[in-house]
Amino acid sequence: MEEPGFWDDPEVSQQVMKELKGLQDSVKEIEKLYSDYEDMMLLIEMSEEEDSEETAEEIGRITDRGVTSLEGMGTYTKSKRNVLLCACSKSEAYLVKNAVYQVDDSAFVMFTETSEVLGEGFKESLDEL
């Protein structure tokens, strides 16, 4: 575009500009998908009941993320556990893991990817997709 004579042929310059716009739109879409991907990391942490509330508070303190607690049972050990769920970005996963292990160094922690998270703090509805 800065080359001498670029704008001399309007048809060619318009075609190049159209291609440039298409590429820029593609890059924006890829960047949005990558950003959404980072936001979809999901932490699942199983903790002894007495540690789960403290663990959830520590995750919230360090990451400013909410935590959902579910009752569960380990089928291997037959012991009741609370399962904590926390949706976080990939870059926050390290902070969440550290928060968990500061409270319970024997916690069972699993990170998994999810395709989307709907609700407060994330996409509010299908309209935003």
Instruction: Give the tokens for residue 129.
Output: 């997709």
The whole-number pLDDT of residue 18 equals: 92
The whole-number pLDDT of residue 48 equals: 60
CB 87 within 8 A of CB 65: yes
- Other CB atoms within a 10 A radius of the CB of residue 41 amount to 20
The whole-number pLDDT of residue 96 equals: 87
The whole-number pLDDT of residue 122 equals: 67
Phi, psi of 65 (to 5 degrees): -110, 150
Q: Which amino acid is at 98?
A: N
Kindly give, in sequence order, each residue whose CB lies less than 8 Å from that of residue 115, ignoring residues fewer than 6 positions away.
40
Locate all alpha helices (DSSP H) within the chain, ordered by sequence.
10-39, 49-63, 93-103
Query: How large is the C-alpha radius of gyration of the chain?
Result: 23
The whole-number pLDDT of residue 24 equals: 92
Per-residue pLDDT of the chain (129 residues; tens, 9 = 90+): 678 888 888 888 888 889 999 999 899 888 877 766 665 565 666 666 567 888 888 888 888 888 888 888 888 888 888 888 888 888 888 888 888 888 888 888 888 888 777 777 666 555 554
Select from 35, 51, 41 the least CA-distant residue to 96: 41
